[in-house]
Chain A
């Protein structure tokens, strides 16, 4: 979670000191619940195998438009402009609060909004409502404004100098996610990122995004390379709603992920999502000892305390990413041994979408409680006093966070349930995809033993992280 406390407070061997934004941390999942959860995962997996269907059912979306009135209400030029304005407005508030607001991260709009409401809330909204970020995306809105203005003035569309290379795929988004989480957890060297850090990060990201939109075209960059569009769009595939052109439609349950473009970097994007969530959980739990050891070695070499923190945590973030990727790669290699398999790279991309439910489960498991607390802050004192200067814009500045809103037991059950349900959905998607990839049902089933092993590993790893959390 977002850390706080000054760098000077780092006491060797303490790696991370007080967490300003986390008033109440989850207790580790108790051993009995971990064991039960893991056993349930295995049992459910075998049960699913026994009822495994033999014809692919989820490979076609059967997208149907909703009643016209609803569609028009949701997707008309007016709502597009309003949503764009809201997105840009929030973007401006983040910048202003970041540069001019109070430095205390717990009282500043930019920290709470960016790391909780935006980063986590939009995932939830995307799953429930479809790709809503597309409408609120401030970079897209501003890009469209500029290109529209150009068209108005010049009488023709702005020329697009470069073609987006297919080989680049989603890799820019992978890098974007890594850097975002790096800012959240590591950049400040053991303390929480300050609102100023967030504002600077936003400016840097905006400059890069605008340059890329100028080079590749606004919609092209948004569709293929922009980090948050790719990230939220990935989770949007899990939900039932999808807009096509000016029509809003509903697709058959769970058919969305299979249509997620199997481009280069697709697997990496879903794996990096799992990895950064794992790292956040492991930083204070399963890996805290290893990180501390590395931190001390860095300090011995001569790095300052904050830099030792940065180096040690960056190393372990990359190791976790590597480890998660290795696990998937082993599963794919295993699948590849089955007769009738396409080449490894194609196989890897074909099954990338099956991990999206697991990535979502990881997010729910790790952030559910913190999200509940911080959203209370978001809509009370943060909303009315975004700069922390004492204003009360909406009359809610007096409110606060009720940490008692959810008990430890409830949190544990939500965490385990999320992982188990995510696992079940992932297995379902993988089995169905295998039926599409392999000619013979027998080969499809054989290939899925490998994916089963990978998913059991991911789910049990998730449970393990929870059992070691804050330990």
Chain B
């Protein structure tokens, strides 16, 4: 940078560009549901419980993602073919005994973030059965 005027010019342009960028980008995506990942197959924000099948202590079809928006009512039904100790939702710290099937989980999504839902097996081990995503 050679002259003071040139320096100030660049600085001014930079500040204006920053402000414009912020306004443009922010107003465009205020309703964004949280990222380039978007929704995954197997998610629901509609009424009707999402079913998670657990077979011999493992999730059928792998760990599925269930997505909600903050303030929604989370509605899950865990179906097990063998009795286990409990179902545990991390973060919300919700635990329900899993001796009988199905285990119904219904609670308001007050916390946003990503929370693991686990089955605690009768042998003391744990396995993740679903991933709860609550978008802000």
Contact = CB atoms under 8 A, between A and B. Distances in A.
Interface residues of B, number: 45
Interface of B: 1, 6-11, 14-15, 17-18, 21-22, 25-26, 28-29, 32, 34-37, 58-59, 62-63, 90-93, 110-116, 118, 125-128, 133, 135-136
A14 B62 contact: yes
A108 to B, nearest CB: 16
Interface string A2-43: 001110110100100111101111111111101110011001
Q: Interface residues of B: mostly helix, strand, loop or mixed?
A: mixed
A408 B91 contact: no
A47 B135 contact: no
A23 B22 CA distance: 32
Nearest to A5: B126
Given A9-B126, A49-B1, A408-B113, 15 more contacts: A5-B128, A6-B125, A26-B113, A27-B113, A27-B133, A27-B135, A27-B136, A30-B34, A32-B25, A43-B17, A43-B21, A46-B14, A47-B10, A51-B11, A471-B37
Contact of B111 (A19, A20, A24, A32): A24
A409 interface: yes
A17 B18 contact: no
A408 B18 contact: no
Contacts of B115: 23-25
A17 B1 contact: no
Contacts of A11: 58-59, 62, 127
B25 A36 contact: yes
Given A18-B118, A43-B21, A51-B7, A31 B125 contact: no
Contacts of B58: 9, 11
Contacts, number: 134
B17 A27 contact: no
A47 B37 contact: no
Contacts of B118: 5, 18
A39 B34 CA distance: 19
28 contacts: A4-B126, A5-B125, A5-B128, A11-B58, A18-B90, A19-B116, A24-B114, A25-B114, A26-B114, A27-B114, A27-B133, A32-B28, A35-B25, A36-B22, A39-B21, A39-B25, A40-B21, A40-B22, A43-B14, A44-B18, A46-B10, A50-B6, A50-B8, A403-B111, A404-B110, A409-B136, A471-B36, A471-B37
B127 A17 contact: yes
A238 B118 CA distance: 42
Contact of A403 (B21, B35, B91): B91
A400 interface: yes
Contact of A28 (B26, B35, B90): B35
A404 B34 contact: no
